[in-house]
Structure 1
Amino acid sequence: MTERRSARVAAQVARLEAEAQSTKPKAKAQPPTKRGKVKVEGDDDKGKKRAEPVKAKAKPAKAKPAKKKAKKEEPTEAICRPPVDEHCPKADQYRVYVDGEGVVWHAMLNQTNLRQNNNKYFKLQLLEDMKVPGHYIAWFRWGRVGYTGQMTSKGEDLEGAKHAFEQKFADKTVNDWHAVATGEAPFSPRANKYTYVEQDFTGGPVEEQVKEKDEGKPEVKVEDTKLDEQLYELIKMICDRQLMVDHMKASG
């Protein structure tokens, strides 16, 4: 009897549980989860690179043109070469040398001594051979103004001729040729030595320059002198620039 009752109770309990289960709302089925993409190192960077707009390539900067080297300044005035000494053998084959600084290698020296009644000249020229390349000579001629005098030459190449010219100029004047010729130092007259006669080779022949300068000067009235006539003529000759140039020209 008791076993039957227990069986009925158990069956009833099972029925109630089954009803309870049937009354519960069914859970919605979850959608299948998508498998996540395995992240590979570098994928994000690639994506970013693709997303970024392509930048235009920068144009290469134009190279600045190189500055041209400044040209060496040349004399603004044409240099008038003095004539080659007419007493030089084959004078028409040579010309007076002009270096890169525009220095004309030609010098006329004068020495006057009133007590000894001396009026001497000394001419120096560095000559360039126009027919034989690389051949140069230092030409010297000296004597009393108005006379041919003596002459000689030294040197075979440019350096030798330059050295002979500079040495002779220093011996006769105790001055440095390069310093005087370039204007680095003024000529300094020395006692019992020759004086340098300055000449301008940019404005035409020297004798014409002297005439032009003298033409603009007012006439000076000369008073009668009490000096000896010969001494007076000598002093007048020394002070007369045009006469000095004429004598130099006559001397060659």
Structure 2
Amino acid sequence: MLLKDKVVMVSGVGPGLGIKLAMEAAREGARAVAIGARDKARLLEAQQRILALTHTCEVLCVPTDITDVEACQRFAANTLEHFGRIDALINSAFSHGGFQSVEEGDNAPLREALEVNLLGSLNMSRAVLAPMRTQGAGAIVMINTLGVRKPYQGGAAYAASKSALAATVRYLATEQAVHGLRVNGLACGWMWGEPVQALVRQTATARGVSEEQVRAELSAGIPGGRMRTDDECARAALFLASDYASAINGAQLDANGGEMMC
């Protein structure tokens, strides 16, 4: 099991990748999963789904807005108080920041994306550094996007914030390596799960085409034409958090089925 007896924190637990990260961590032997999101109801639903999978993993729910420094510190402190250590943090919370083009003059979507995707992830990461350094070990994984290197319509604000996050991964990894910590990123493409399924339905209805056509169009750039699931991407992130990835630091792993190869 990848995460046997580990304590794993996951931010941004919602209907997509976030819940799958928590569930797969439990499936991979974590002794405890601490989950955070703004919506308490989502956390309680996630807790039920995890406990339905296994009763050997404890679940701690901490409502958390990662743009609030004190909330992030409270999330980490509660995890440490309950479980005595923090082995891994997966930063999954995000905001797309709207779907504007670069030339549009409103910077509000970009500020929102930066506040959550960059600064929020930094808030959460800083909150776990001290306990991880005390342990002499720990792993942080930042969920990133293929959109950083492959532009798509309306993705400018999101990709800009994630580009900044990718650079931060390299700096944080360099700074914290002396303390035994690793920091990596995971660049996901389109992931077949609830959020993308909803997008496909909405797009198909708006365009008057079939859902199969929309899904095929989104998958067209992937060798073999198969969009990976959010379960698969979650497992890739958890590999980076595990001891099996002990030689990997400051890297960004592609989890997009080969849509981008470099």
Task: Quickly name the TM-score band, shorter chain normalised.
Answer: under 0.3
User: Which has the larger share of helix?
Assistant: 2
Instruction: Identify which of structures 1 and 2 has the higher relative contact order when contacts are C-alpha pairs closer than 8 Å and 6+ apart.
Output: 2
TM-score (norm 2): 0.26
**TM-score of the pair, normalised by structure 1:** 0.27
Larger Rg: 1
